[in-house]
Structure 1
Amino acid sequence: MQVIVRDNNVDQALRALKKKLQREGLFREMKRRRAYEKPSEKKAREKNEAIRRARKLARKAAQREGLLPRARKHAKAGGRR
């Protein structure tokens, strides 16, 4: 993974790195590996994740077909314009 530092702006590069790590799911993975996870807990978690993914795909397909309204994008407070 690579992040470019422009104009010696390390803070901006760090934010970009954190965003990339978040997107990759690294923080979630580290949190999950902190403690032992029983096989039954792992199975239940993976099942729930699969259900969540399937629902998300079905929701997106329904939006594409016009059966559901499109999701609104949330405006960030104090964001750039």
Structure 2
Amino acid sequence: MQVLVRDNNVDQALKVLKKKMQREGIFRELKLRGSYEKPSEKRVREKAEAVRRARKLARKQAIREGLIAGPKPKPKKFGAPRRPV
């Protein structure tokens, strides 16, 4: 995984790196490997994850087909204008 540091802004690069790692699931993997997980616990966890994925997929498909309402749009925030880079 590679992150570019622009204008010696290490804090921004670190933020980008953490976000990439979060998306890849590295933190979750580290937490799981931190201690031993019994095979029965692993089966239960994987089954729960599969159910969660299936429900999410069914919910998204139902929204696409118009069977249920989608999420409400978030209100726009009007703050100070962003500075040009």
Q: Same fold (TM over 0.5)?
A: yes
Name the aligned partner's letter for residue 23 of structure 2.
R
Q: Which runs of 5+ in 1 are unaligned?
A: none
Q: How much has 1:72 moved relative to structure 2?
A: 3.5
Name the aligned partner's letter for residue 39 of structure 2.
P
Give me the identity figure in percent: 68
- CA radius of gyration, larger in: 2
| Deviation by residue 1:23-57 (Cα, 9 ceiling, x = unmatched) | 00100110011110000000000000000000000
Residues paired across the two proteins, number: 79
1:33 counterpart = 2:10: no
SS at 2:67 equivalent: coil
CA distance in 1, matches of 2:19, 2:8: 19
CA distance in 1, matches of 2:55, 2:41: 21
Runs of 4+ in 1 over 6 A off after TM superposition: none
What is the RMSD of the two structures over their aligned residues, measured on CA atoms? 2.1
Please, what TM-score do these two structures have when normalized by structure 2?
0.83
Question: 1:1-81 alignment to 2 at 5 Å?
Answer: 1-72=1-72
